[in-house]
Structure 1
């Protein structure tokens, strides 16, 4: 079996700052950002320019900067944002999908070997030195086929979760209306009135560690799960913290608006805010309001391309004044849906764990040989 380094297979071009435009612009081209490496749920556009770096469906794209550094995408066409890089092939004797899936198996390795104390950056030398086994085209195709079948099951579970989320959203909209438009005319109060908001602050770089010393440190969605975050690094000099019961809210970048709940005390970096709802009975309703406004957060910010939601913006978010009895009625209606979602989420976790084992087995040549 032949082996090649990434440097032997690809030219690497770092993306550039791209100005986003509204989707109905006649000269639009797709703007590819980190979230697009996972799905096509929130497509953005820009006006084409010779100054931009472009990807085609035959390229591999990697998240170069930030908490998601090392995330791999492919089969995308458009202008590439400044936090991404494009890998363009130098030769034709391999399947891009095969190599992209191999690099996906190295995402954590790339993340673990990033440079930068507060904002991770991919190490070009580490990436370029990765050795990729290149079997025959037939074997590459077979590997891709097996992995695609496993991915199909994962995608089906995600579709089920999405359908259930849309059902709960439909019930919410029927009862309360759109949180941003307030088309049912509710009396509102600001988020700043119902919650205290703590904006994260990065600890000193030399306080970071992987040895469980100090408080677990959260910098953004890289540590998020479906509900509670995972501990991946720690700091001995926390500047800002969240407490149990707080809403963890992403304020920066392509994942602005994503949320988790804080299940204990965490140090929070500048990519997060802790929303401390004053009345415990309001917690889940406030979470729902914020969740339904995700697309609004993605398209409204202080930054022209890099989203940066400040404290004032958060404090001014309108929250409906709704009786406790009506909120209780809503949660009673969706209780059964949420139980089904939990079962599907557990199934999805198992499928994703199995996929991780499968992809590692494949590329250790346990299932295939040249």
Structure 2
């Protein structure tokens, strides 16, 4: 085993960026900051190459290209890799490297060649590299299959919801409905600013990004925590509260938190829910209405649903017995999900 700097085993290089207007519908694959962005009539790499996203919000993302590909200046190509290094091994090493200490810039995050001097990796023999690559490929394949199974179970939940309650976008089954504001309390979150001054405490800081992966119902943890002073400038919500993303590209989905925490101003908290409305049913029905909420959000640089809009939204109210029947079905599907994850 050998620990070595990345820049000692390859030549990091940014190539010329292709104007968007010059991209084609077919040809050689063009890689930008987030993988393939289009096609072009020529390529700058004959063989596959590892590319590190070096500009923008996805800085540090790792791609490995197909043969005969063009890589733009939004990604740092690792050219001229040492002959004893398997580039797939290099890809996996970097995929699991924490680039936070390498990224510079605030308004526009970036990774420079100089910054890559901070990156080092562990090198073993070519034979060992190949064994590791094959093992990781098998693991990735298993994870892919498990994700597909989970996705199909999620589709089953959606299908059962429509079967029982119809299309609630148009309420084609004619359920009773009431303005959501009459059925619960709706309040907006708050964000202490600048947030960097309030991080490092013990109170969970709930951002939109914490809920975009994983469980479709419950949010169980956060990546960051704030200090007590930050609580005064935010909104503390209790375990069991339903929160709803009300702005930006993630607008229109809900989660139930399993802990006390403070919510970012991109969340609405829905509390004190009327007994004729099951909390999990409400979450599922809100998640069914995502496209509707995005359509009615006031136009602007960021779509935004304020508390007044959400209070006026007419929430369907099927009989509570039916809502609970659906929840029982949901619980059975969740057990199946757990079994899938346990096998994985």
TM-score (norm 1): 0.64
State which structure, 1 or 2, has the greater radius of gyration over its C-alpha atoms: 2
Change (3 A) 1:144 1:85: farther
Contact 1:198 1:240 in 2 (8 A): no
- Matching residue within 141, 160, 173 for 1:152: 141
SS in 1 for 2:163: helix
Structure-1 separation of matches of 2:123 and 2:279: 52
Change (3 A) 1:315 1:95: farther
Partner residue, 2:200: 210
RMSD: 5.0
For residues 348-359 of structure 1, the aligned pairs below 5 Å read 351=344
Q: Could you say which residue in structure 2 is the equivalent of 1:5?
A: 6
User: Relative CO higher for 1 or 2, CA cutoff 8 Å, sep ≥ 6?
Assistant: 1
| Separation (CA, whole Å) in 2 of partners of 1:276 and 1:208 | 26
SS at match of 2:219: coil
- Quote how far apart the aligned CAs of 1:324 are: 0.9
Structure 2 runs not aligned, ≥5 long: 41-46
Q: Distance in 2 between matches of 1:317 and 1:86?
A: 44
Q: Secondary structure at the match of 1:210?
A: strand
Q: 2:230 aligns with which of 234, 237, 247?
A: 237
Check the 8 A contact 1:63/1:72 in 2, yes or no: no
**2: CA distance between counterparts of 1:296 and 1:327?**
22
Return the offset for 1:292: 2.7
Aligned to 1:130: 119
Please report how far the alpha carbon of residue 262 of structure 1 lies from its aligned counterpart in structure 2 after TM superposition: 1.9
Residue equivalent to 2:283? 287
Aligned residue number for residue 167 of structure 1: 156
> 2:247 touches 2:305 (CA, 8 Å); kept in 1?
no
Residues of 2 paired with 1:190 and 1:255: CA distance?
A: 23
Alpha-carbon distance between aligned partners in 2 of 1:181 and 1:31, rounded to the nearest angstrom: 43
8 Å contact kept, 1:277–1:283: no
Which residues in structure 2 correspond to 1:171-250 (within 5 Å)? 171-195=160-184, 196-212=186-202, 215-222=203-210, 225-226=214-215, 227-231=218-222, 232-235=224-227, 236-238=229-231, 239-241=233-235, 242-250=237-245
Q: CA deviation at 1:325?
A: 1.9
Q: Rate the CA distance shift 1:137–1:164 in 2: closer, same or farther, 3 A.
A: same
| 3-state SS of 1:233 partner | strand
Match of 2:43 in 1: none
What is the TM-score when the length of structure 2 is the normalising length?
Answer: 0.68
Q: Shift of residue 316 of structure 1?
A: 5.5
The alpha-carbon deviation at position 295 of structure 1 amounts to 5.7
The answer to whether the 8 Å contact 1:9/1:91 transfers is yes
1:273 equivalent in alignment to 2:268: yes
- The one of 316, 319, 339 equivalent to 1:320 is 316
Asked if the contact 1:229–1:260 (Cα under 8 Å) also holds between the matched residues in 2, the reply is no
Q: How many pairs align?
A: 319
Q: Which residue of 2 aligns with 1:21?
A: none
CA deviation profile, 1:202-233 (whole Å, cap 9, x unmatched): 44335333353xx2212222466522232432
Contact 1:110 1:122 in 2 (8 A): no
Gaps of 5+ in 1: 19-25, 38-44, 50-55, 352-370
Structure 1 residues 127 and 216, CA, compared in 2 at 3 Å: closer, same or farther? farther
CA–CA distance in 2 between the matches of 1:229 and 1:153? Answer: 25
